[in-house]
Structure 1
Amino acid sequence: MNMILKKRIQRPHFHPIAWGVITGTFLSRTGFFMTIPFLGIYLGKEKGMDAAIVGAILAVSLFVGTLSSFIGGMLSDRLGRYPVMITSMIVWSLVFAGFAFADATWQFFLLSACNGLCRSVFEPTARALLADVTPAERRSSVFHARYFAINLGGALGPLIGLKLGMGGTSSFLPFIVSTAIFMIYAILLIGLRMRFAEQHHEKSETVSVKQMIHIVFTDKVFLYFLCGNVFVAGAYSHLDTTLSQFMGQRQVELYTFLFVVNTVSVLVFQYPLAKFMKRYTSLTSLKAGCLLFGLGLFGFGLFQNVLLLSLSMVIFTMGEVLCFVIGDVLIGEIAPEHARGAYYGASGFAALGQSFCAWFGGFLLHALGYEQGPILFGILMVFTFLAFPFFYQGQRTRERSEKNKPTRHTAA
């Protein structure tokens, strides 16, 4: 009995900074999912905007985020993780307050752009901080824990948002609650910086910005991964954009239910899938995830039965787990330690696919109408499958690179 207790006490644990980021991730994602997945419904029903304008507003967030992600990652390498994270989190909280009070179309464009800016600066910096304070052998576990926190917040957020009135007659309160939650996370980060400032060196002056750009954008394996991930990220964006508009006009409760199915499925399948896919390479897992993403998307337009829609969401979610968790692991495998922030920041360029697909989904809804689900989501499925040749070529390039590595011989 004492031996069992001793083993439990000696079980590997995360750094307190990592636990702080994971806890804050849960809080912020709860606040995020209370409101942002319903933003398309909010703009359409409460503000009277047509689907094309709503799609454009949502696309602006993703487009601006694409331009800022790499810069944010490099700034965190140069200035330190905490200054970048704290500043972006404070501004992000004010964005949610702005959504509650905005009325003019241009204001929503501006707020949507700021939302994308804050998210794409904060996220790669937070992932780099987790990698900084976590030993290599525990890094996969800490990213799984982070993703678990994201989806636990995703499971609770929509339910709380719907309860507070999001997607109904008034969405003021959910936006204000989200504002408060994001401000709490900013305060938590300030506390972590004060408590552990001496234990964690924030800045890295060893690599110039020019060198970072050269390292990242001459890595062929990473570039193939990034190009393929443009289409994968675009497929995922339809959950918050095209699907919310497609179902939200008539079935807000059903959309909320499917969103919860998505997040609960992540919690259920994340670790079993990770264990099963350990026998395959990261890029093989990404190809499998891409296939599941596309099939799940097509199911959203093909079915109307709740059970079949739920099955489609489970398939979609399995693709999400494979692509996003394994994607973070792959970056950790191929990124040099001295350019980690830059690699995580550059991975944000995949938001090009999110930006385009958010607009494209809204355009298809406007052009085809809400009664052409199979055609609409069939087109989106085909776009998703365009990731396959990039992942295939990336896998071949990496295999050739591994074969050409010189072997080390120990002296006799």
Structure 2
Amino acid sequence: MAVIDTLGLPNTRGRGPLVVAQAVDALGTGLFLPFAVVYFHAAKDIGLTTVGVMLSVAALISLPAGPLAGPLIDRFGPRAVMIASNLIRVATFTGYVFTDARWQLVLLVTATLCGESLFRPAATALVAHIADEGQRTRWYAMQRSLRNVGFGAGGLFGSLLVAWDGGGGYTLVVLLNAASFLVTAVLIGTWRPLTVLPGTAPGPVVRPVGERGGYREVLADRAFLGFLVTVLVFALCDLALTVLLSAYVIDARGLPAWQPGMLFAINTGLVMLAQTWVAKAIERRRRPRVLQVAAVLWIVSFAVFACVPTADTTLAFAGLALGMVVFTVAELLQAPTSSALIVSMADARVRGRYLGLEELMWGLAKVAAPAVFTQLLTARPELPWLVLGVCCLAAVAVLARLNRTLPVAALRETVDHA
């Protein structure tokens, strides 16, 4: 236990199958993620521009899935929703192999994205229920580390399969991803937790007469609505890594194509090595203050990216690497803290709805980021970083108000000291 505590890991006793399920899910997703665009281009012979439009349309259509996940989680429990989301993706990824019709592929991608939008809030809600007292932040940190390890290992294995058999490799990657979702669903479905989970106890949920419920109750929480502004900002910051950075480095700054890959490796390595340790270090800190520090660090990283010199390739990479380290530290602080703060703000009866609105903010960011970032980048290379920095300043102001108004129980994981 001493080693586990030193590493910042949570107590997983009786919850091993859940941990394994999350690792398998991440590994399977990592297999396909690097080829999400290339698969439809190479295996289905669809132009890259058309693929981009198809994926954007699917992302837009799937936006309501996040808010719809909330009532399902609150009514049937997070475990049931996680199982359903995995079975949906088993069907959609299997379907990719058997059709070349573009409209059918759009429907399948839309269903896949809906499954993802169900899975993420359900997984967060499940952890909120099963984590030991004071260990939610550690669980969210461990989840993130597992995802990065799985993405890295899956991406490497998927690349080997594609290099080995070209089109057949792409098909095998898709089928293995479908199999990983099936294994995940079985692991979660057969797991017998030590405590009764929401949605598994007999009898309906009974509310006192006159008590509000559903999204009316959530939308009446002005503090949470304010916090959703920061969720959107932080989602855009996170997406800058995958949507903006490569285009900025290669196209806007004319730097070598190997540099973005190295920067991604720095980010992934730091998350895998340091996420749980950082979570342990901040678990007794006031959550809004931790998020303010994350926002300020993002501003610093964006300033470094914007000012990187391009005359010397080595010096440019050194500057970008420094910016990436600062960027990653901001991620390490923000990711588990935001999840822990949301579940602490929510009444358990409507926690799924709170998390569903968080998922909606992420969906909006994913729809907006490609168009907004590319337009700003075309206008002036430094402009997207400047706009993101201003957004982070707004988040700092919102968090300052939350730090004054939220109840003490929501401010930090434990309340032993300030």
Interval of TM-score (by shorter of Structure 1 and Structure 2):
0.7 to 0.9
Partner residue of 1:274 out of 270, 279, 285: 279
Task: Tell me: CA distance 1:316–1:85, structure 2 relative to 1, closer, same or farther (3 Å).
Answer: same
Asked if the contact 2:288/2:403 (under 8 Å) is kept, the reply is no
Partner residue of 2:232 out of 222, 230, 234: 230
Distance 2:403 2:290 in 1: 14
What is aligned with 2:47?
Answer: 49
Q: CA deviation at 1:167?
A: 12
**Where does 1:137-148 land on structure 2 (aligned, <5 Å)?**
137-148=134-145
Select the structure that is richer in helix: 1
TM (norm. structure 2) is 0.78
Partner residue of 2:162 out of 154, 161, 165: 165
**Where does 1:143-158 land on structure 2 (aligned, <5 Å)?**
143-158=140-155
Which deviates the most, 166-175 or 249-258?
249-258
Q: RMSD value over aligned CA atoms?
A: 3.8
Uncovered stretches (5+) of structure 2, i.e. residues with no partner = 409-418
One-letter amino acid of the structure 1 residue matched with residue 292 of structure 2? K
- What secondary structure does 2:213 align onto? helix
Deviation track 1:347-367 (CA, whole Å, cap 9, x = no partner) reads 1122211221034345667xx
Residue 341 (str. 1) matches residue 352 (str. 2): yes
Distance 2:242 2:165 in 1: 17
Uncovered stretches (5+) of structure 1, i.e. residues with no partner = 404-412
What is aligned with 1:408?
Answer: none
- What secondary structure does 2:267 align onto? helix
Distance 1:252 1:160 in 2: 22
Asked if the contact 1:228/1:390 (under 8 Å) is kept, the reply is yes
Which deviates the most, 214-223 or 36-45?
36-45
What is aligned with 1:27?
Answer: 24
Residue 355 (str. 1) matches residue 336 (str. 2): no
- What secondary structure does 1:14 align onto? coil
Identity, % of aligned pairs? Answer: 23
Which deviates the most, 138-147 or 53-62?
53-62
Distance 1:12 1:276 in 2: 13
Residue 290 (str. 1) matches residue 270 (str. 2): no
TM (norm. structure 1) is 0.79
Asked if the contact 2:296/2:392 (under 8 Å) is kept, the reply is no
Deviation track 1:258-315 (CA, whole Å, cap 9, x = no partner) reads 4333221112232343345457532232233234445546766756655544444333
Q: Report how many residues are paired.
A: 387
Asked if the contact 1:35/1:166 (under 8 Å) is kept, the reply is no
Task: Tell me: CA distance 1:174–1:361, structure 2 relative to 1, closer, same or farther (3 Å).
Answer: farther
Distance 2:359 2:91 in 1: 23
What is aligned with 1:177?
Answer: 176
Distance 1:357 1:4 in 2: 43
Task: Tell me: CA distance 1:20–1:107, structure 2 relative to 1, closer, same or farther (3 Å).
Answer: same
Deviation track 1:89-143 (CA, whole Å, cap 9, x = no partner) reads 0111232334445544434432332222001111111211122122332222222
Residue 317 (str. 1) matches residue 328 (str. 2): yes
Distance 2:194 2:283 in 1: 36
Which deviates the most, 172-181 or 196-205?
196-205
Q: CA deviation at 1:230?
A: 0.9
Distance 1:57 1:362 in 2: 18
Distance 2:16 2:346 in 1: 23
**Where does 1:10-409 land on structure 2 (aligned, <5 Å)?**
13-16=11-14, 18-43=15-40, 47=45, 49-51=47-49, 53-165=50-162, 169-170=166-167, 171-192=170-191, 195-196=192-193, 199-203=196-200, 205-207=205-207, 211-243=213-245, 255-278=260-283, 280-293=285-298, 296=301, 302=308, 305=314, 306-351=317-362, 352-361=364-373, 368=378, 375-376=380-381, 378-383=383-388, 385-400=390-405, 402=407
Distance 1:277 1:167 in 2: 44
Distance 2:214 2:67 in 1: 10
One-letter amino acid of the structure 1 residue matched with residue 66 of structure 2? S
- What secondary structure does 2:11 align onto? coil
Distance 2:406 2:181 in 1: 43
Task: Tell me: CA distance 1:50–1:271, structure 2 relative to 1, closer, same or farther (3 Å).
Answer: same
